[in-house]
Amino acid sequence: MNSFYEQLKDRSKKRIALLVDPDGYDTEGLDSLMEHINLYPPDLLLVGGSILFKSIEISITTLKLGTKLPVFIFPGNCFQLSDRADGILFLSLISGRNPEFLIGNHVLAAPHISRSGIEVIPTGYMLIENGKSTSVEYMSNTQPIPGNKPDIAVATAMAGEMLGLKSLYLEAGSGAEHPVNPAMIRAVRKNTSLPMMVGGGIRSAETALELFNAGADMIVVGNAMEKDPGLLKAFCAARDSFNCA
């Protein structure tokens, strides 16, 4: 079976990733979520958060046992690692200037990840202003790219591609007031060739379709699912309708 990155490079298909914050679910809630996942499967499960009070290992193991989907780590810091995952989005916060989130945490994590043998997808992580302060902004001590400055986003994404990163992630932040502006997504898509993920503030299938049309290859939903797991059906239907068009 191809690595997930090989699948992601096939940009003829749109994909849905579900971000699971271990702190957002108790045992009953996670069981309920997996029922929805098995009925309406996304393409990828991501596990992680800015700060975790619960074990990432338990969430990963539960999702691996209860679903048939690849489970990747979406690390908030170098402590969020697990040999039980299928892979990791190795996030470099290229929108900021904090060396710890550009390379520092990565140096500490690299030996463990190498030993684990899990798939690694080097990802240029770009935090985009969304109307309010986010956990990522506070924890990383970085400023987001202004939402009305697509030129900065384009130049940042181009630099990430030139540096050898293999994917891009445009992030409005958990609980964002609004998603990344489709005009910014279109501008980045026009000027780069890397697979592009977009997350934050996506609360409806209509928004998902708008972002797909703008050029997102995979959208990431999370906070909305904590409030209403039933939304997964609508998100997957939007993906499927786009892929069948």
What is the homologous superfamily of the domain 14-244 according to CATH? FMN-linked oxidoreductases (3.20.20.390)
**Which CB contacts under 8 angstroms, 24+ apart, belong to 79-82?**
80/48, 80/49, 80/52, 80/56, 81/56, 81/109, 81/112, 81/113, 81/116, 82/56, 82/57, 82/116
Domain ranges of the chain: 14-244
**Helix/strand number for the chain, H first, E second:** 11, 8
**Both structure tokens of 157:** 């994404």
In order along its 245 residues, the chain shows pLDDT tens digits of 589 999 999 999 999 999 999 999 999 999 999 999 999 999 999 999 999 999 999 999 999 999 999 999 999 999 999 999 999 999 999 999 999 999 999 999 999 999 999 999 999 999 999 888 889 999 999 999 999 999 999 999 999 999 999 999 999 987 788 999 999 999 999 999 999 999 999 999 999 999 999 999 999 999 888 889 889 999 999 999 999 98
Asked if residue 36 lies in contact with residue 230, where contact means CB atoms within 8 angstroms, the answer is yes
| Measured distance CA(16)–CA(112) in Å, rounded | 28
